[in-house]
Structure 1
Amino acid sequence: MFSDLPTHAPDKILQLMQMFREDTRTDKIDLGVGVYKNAEGQTPVMRAIKAAEKKLWEVETTKSYVALAGAPDYNDAMVKLVLGDAVARDQVASVATPGGTGAVRQSFELVKMVNPDATVWYSNPTWGNHVSILKYLGVANKAYRYFDAASGTVDFDGMIADLNSAKPGDVVLLHGCCHNPTGANLTAEQWQTVVDTLLAKELLPMIDVAYQGFGDGLEEDAAGLRLVASSVPETLIAASCSKNFGVYRERTGILMAVSADKGKVGPAQANLAYLNRQNYSFPPDHGARLVSMILTDDALLADWKAELEEVRLGMLELRQQLADELRRLTNTDRFDFIARHRGMFSMLGLTEDQIVTLREEHGIYAVSDSRINIAGLNTKTVPILAKAVAEVVGV
């Protein structure tokens, strides 16, 4: 049987990680892998997480299962963090999941179970695993225009035109903030137009929020999704704690189903729990426990928010430094959009051949579509990247 298994194309980012590890150059720079790194190139354990882990070690008395939906205090705390006061708690069904990816997978499973004829519309481009999971599950999917590479801005007219061709009951996958891979976000006015389109076309929004707090702030980054959740009859939200809490390997996420009708929450909750049972029974608890401890303890919460703000501001400073350096070296405003983007990623607009040249001649590793991880830089490597980019574009 094993000899008859199909072959699958290797993940491009995982391939890039392997190439980077095998590169013997000491001055190489990794801008491909999508994890936060500090100025020393490390992905640190956040102070509040360390403190919560120490406290948990002292008070935890069992490793027994919690519940199919995960710990209630975790679910309550995450619903509050993501949705704030946009909707009442009794309008939200929720389950803990293995990371944001688990939440995305469960949401697609729910769509397939409830409406197998639905098409899931995703932004072009989007996080690669969105499309991979949709294809694996056999869910119909189409791309809508999103990014204008020439200007580094959202192609909003194209986006709305494409969504107007969707049929009632289709699903629109949106990035809550810090769009991956472009870094280009919707404005408040554009979010409102999206809401109007969803209502007019009777479309179900599904929002993937993996970087809350990495863009303009915890509350600001949630403004768009809160507008959607409070305005349309039903919304799916997949949230991740990997980035903003730094608990990547603990696989800590949550899936929420928001309804304007409180009577629909019970069936939604039962079906989310059912899907958990089919896929992995009980979700991981360690990371979720740490997150809920932080979100319900004033001192830990304050320290976490302070460190998260340091991370956010640090990335904004790197963005501005890179944009300024590229403007100086190229004598154009071609790369000014980098400073306007938010989150960990931006697409430089280079060709695949130019990306190969960056890697082979300069030891700079970026994804083939020219996505770079801003958090993979520091103040010393920004000028190195800028000089290399200026060279490959022929300045």
Structure 2
Amino acid sequence: MLEALNPQPQDKILQLIALYREDKRTTKIDLGVGVYKDPTGLTPVMRAVKAAEKKLWEVETTKTYTGLAGEPAYNSALVKMILGETDRAASVATPGGTGAIRQALELVKLATPGATVWLSAPTWPNHPSIIKFLGMKMAEYRYFDAATCGVDFEGMKADLAKVAPGDVVLLHGCCHNPTGANLTQAQWAETVAILQKQGAVPFVDLAYQGFGDGLEEDAAATRLIAASFPEVLIAASCSKNFGIYRERTGILIALTSPDRKAVVQGNLNFLNRQNFSFPPDHGARLVTMILEDEALTADWKAELEEVRLNMLTLRQSLADALRKLTNSDRYDFVATHRGMFSRLGLTEAQVLRLREEHAIYMVGDSRINIAGLNAQTVPILAQAIVAVGG
């Protein structure tokens, strides 16, 4: 049996991590892996998470299974953080945001197996990978303008006007990965109007709430979509905003009518049972404790804001350094992008030169993790970009 297996394509980011680790140069800079790093290069455990873990150790009395959907208190707390008060939400805890995306696509396949799933061009590589693995139909809508490093909104609108009724359109709720280019509020409103006209079902990937313009601000587009459609899927992750990457803490929310919610909830529970039975609970428990404790919530929000502002400072510093070195505004977009990532618009050849000549590692499409920089490495990166002809 196993001899019939063929090698699978390697993940480009994981390949990049391996190359970085093997590099013996002490000046090397990692801008590839998508985790937040503080100015010392550490991905810290947030203060509120530490406090919650200590409290959990003291009060936890069992390690028995949680429910198929996860603990109700966790689901309720996350739904409220993302959407505010609503009576339309069926939800399940999942192994991270990736698990939520997988379960959402499984739900789509179960409900409307002939639906096409529309993705932004570009998008997070796991989106098309999972869709292909599930054997689902897939299409792209234009999103990123390589010339301006902003959103190609006219192209996006033209492509979304081709969406068929019942098709699913995957949208990045904030902090677009991999480009960092986001829609404005006015553009979100236009997008909603187009999707309403086409009869589409929005599917929001919300992996970076709190990393862009603020916790509430980053939920605005998702809340607009939730208020505008009878059915919405939302996959959210606690990896970034709570810093609990390895705890694999996510949630899938399915908004529907109150009279259909029980049936939808039953199907979500069923899918959890088929794929992994009971979802992991440790990270979910920590998130619940933080969101239910006023002092922990305040401290978590304060540290999350420190993280967000650090990334904004790095963005502005890099944009300023490149403006000075190039004597142009070509890279001013870096300061306007939001979240961890920006796509710089460099060629693959330039990216390769950055790695070989300057020990600077980024994905081949020139996506960089802004949080991989610090005050010392910003000017090094800027000078290297200019040196390779950027």
Instruction: Give the TM-score band, short-chain normalised.
Output: over 0.9
Match of 1:201 in 2: 198
Partner of 1:244: 241
Letter in 2 for 1:59: V
1:35 maps to amino acid: V
Q: Which residue does the alignment assign to 1:52?
A: 52
| Aligned pairs (5 A) from 1:4-23 | 4-23=4-23
The answer to whether 1:185 aligns with 2:185 is: no
Give the aligned partner of residue 373 of structure 1. Answer: 369
Equivalent of residue 213 in structure 1, options 200, 210, 215:
210
1:198·1:232 contact (CA, 8 Å) conserved in 2? no
- The equivalent of 1:76 in structure 2 is 76
Aligned length: 390
Counterpart CA distance in 2 for 1:4 and 1:23 is 35
Instruction: Report 1:99-248 matches (<5 A).
Output: 99-248=96-245
- 3-state SS of 2:32 partner: coil
Indicate the residue corresponding to 1:287 in structure 2.
283
Residue 351 of structure 1 is matched in structure 2 by 347
Q: Which residues in structure 2 correspond to 1:288-367 (within 5 Å)?
A: 288-367=284-363
Distance 1:185 1:131 in 2: 20
How far apart are 1:2 and its partner, in Å? 1.4
CA RMSD, 1 decimal: 0.6
Structure 1 unaligned runs (5+)? none
Contact 1:214 1:244 in 2 (8 A): yes
TM-score by length of 1: 0.98
Structure 2 Cα separation of the partners of residues 267 and 193 of structure 1: 32
Equivalents in 2 of 1:53, 1:105: separation in Å? 28
Dislocated runs of 4+, deviation >2 Å: none
Quote how far apart the aligned CAs of 1:148 are: 0.4
Any conservation in 2 of the 1:210–1:239 contact (CA below 8 Å)? yes
Q: Quote how far apart the aligned CAs of 1:52 are.
A: 0.1
Shift of 1:198: 1.3
Unaligned runs of 5+ in 2: none
Instruction: State the percentage of identical aligned residues.
Output: 68
Match of 2:378 in 1: 382
> What do residues 304-358 of structure 1 show as CA deviations (whole Å, max 9, x unaligned)?
0000000000000000000000000011111000000000000010000000000
Q: 1:137 deviation in Å?
A: 0.5
Q: How far, CA to CA, are the matches of 1:255 and 1:142 in structure 2?
A: 22
Contact 1:347 1:371 in 2 (8 A): yes
8 Å contact from structure 1 (residues 315, 343) kept in 2: yes
Secondary structure (helix, strand or coil) at the match of 2:233 reads strand
Is residue 100–residue 241 contact of structure 1 (8 Å, CA) maintained in 2? yes
Distance 2:3 2:348 in 1: 34
SS in 1 for 2:342: strand
Give distance in 1, aligned partners of 2:65 and 2:6.
36
Superposition TM-score, scaled by structure 2 size? 0.99
Q: CA deviation at 1:153?
A: 1.0
> Which SS does the other structure have where 1:70 is aligned?
coil
Distance 1:149 1:316 in 2: 22
1 CA distance for matches of 2:385 and 2:2? 45
